A = this chain, B = another copy of it.
């Protein structure tokens, strides 16, 4: 903490809104990192010194200039729905709350341009009358921002059709502001826009995103019960491979996870595994035919994400962990990517290896043009060491892991390093190393 610097910085801000309110500082400095007992420990008490809430790009530039001049750290965040402490300020300074920059700049067929704080569910609400929707969203869609998703996420609902955010064409352009005395706006198009994907705001402050859109089908939420997890996985894979079936979500979930699913708990037969799905209405008949004779549909409802409802996607991706955490705080999770060429074998192998310690559920996705599955298995927590041991065990069995129990880009990456492109770009946009410092640990500031 350096009150002098912060006070000087505030003087530089003019009329840009800010707050020192302690409870706001505390809340805005957190996300859902507490899903990991390791992160809960490592990030405890990390907090910003001031929350600044820009209304537009000019405000962002003003804050960036002030932080550069005063050498104060700046951590941008959306609504803080991440799980790795992406937006937890490790070195105090400014928490830049982007959630007020919510404009939808324009919408064209297949593309939109939005400000980073646009709420994903409100964006879809605005797009739907025009027959379009966002290609991808996290299970936290109803609170997440587009900018937060792109800066902190990798994929989600929709990835079974479109692949993840890293696939060419899933982020079309990004505009970022540099952290310099005279901040510049840089427009990144195409592959260059990937410099900001999952970089946690370390590679510039996003002020606009151009994102591809998908046709807005009439989606049907489904939950299908199977006697065992292997059958749910096999049925899910058959649907994932059926290119004639329009789908948005395919999630096999093993017993006993469904026991924690509130309203579904009573619908799900004891001991059964589920296949959760979002299927376009015209593909529904084909979907059902692919399930096989042993499947029992226990839930089928037109998609609805209005406030009084629970859309089916809120039982999938990392919301699965959350559903269990609601009644049992003694669990955590992992993040895996199974090999596409021996997918079901590998899933069976890992299920056998961990027994009751790990509760399995998969997310079918496309990855590099191939159907495979990622997974966020629920892990019964014993010790921190065991969490890391489990990561190693997955890797030793040929399953890639993006470790969610660490807070740096490098340690959380499947490749255990920062993307070279992102690292190089950071030198250009953040010479003093003030953007979310500590998250990209391999970066050494080029200027003092």
Contacts and interface: CB of A to CB of B under 8 A. Distances in A.
A282 B167 contact: no
A283 B211 CA distance: 11
Contacts of A172: 282, 285-286
A360 interface: no
Given A109-B282, A243-B369, 14 more contacts: A108-B282, A110-B217, A110-B246, A110-B280, A110-B282, A168-B244, A168-B289, A169-B283, A172-B282, A212-B282, A213-B282, A240-B369, A241-B369, A243-B366
Nearest to A159: B243
Contacts of A290: 168
A446 interface: no
A297 to B, nearest CB: 16
Contacts of A241: 368-370
Nearest to A191: B289
Residue from the set A135, A212, A240 with the largest chain B CB neighbour count within 10 Å: A212
A398 interface: no
A87 interface: no
Interface in A242-298: 242-246, 280-283, 285-286, 289-290
Interface residues of A, number: 42
Nearest to A160: B243
Report, nearest first, the 7 A-B pairs whose CB atoms are least far apart. A241-B369, A110-B282, A169-B244, A169-B286, A215-B215, A163-B243, A167-B244
Nearest to A173: B285
A294 B212 CA distance: 27
Interface in A75-120: 108-111
Interface string A344-368: 0000000000000000000000101
Interface string A283-325: 1011001100000000000000000000000000000000000
Contacts of A366: 243
B245 A169 contact: yes
Q: Which applies to chain A's interface (DSSP): helix, strand, loop or mixed? A: mixed
A285 B189 CA distance: 9
A170 interface: yes
Contact of A289 (B190, B280, B289): B190
Interface in A213-239: 213, 215, 217-218
B282 A244 contact: no
B285 A190 contact: yes
Given A217-B110, A280-B110, A169 B212 contact: no
20 contacts: A108-B282, A109-B217, A110-B217, A110-B280, A111-B282, A161-B243, A167-B243, A167-B244, A168-B286, A168-B290, A169-B246, A189-B285, A190-B285, A190-B286, A191-B289, A213-B282, A241-B368, A241-B369, A241-B370, A242-B369
Most B Cβ at <10 Å: residue of A218, A244, A282, A283: A244
Contacts of A186: none
Contacts of A243: 161-163, 167, 366, 369
Nearest to A165: B244
Given A282-B111, A285-B189, A285-B190, A169 B242 contact: yes
A110 to B, nearest CB: 3
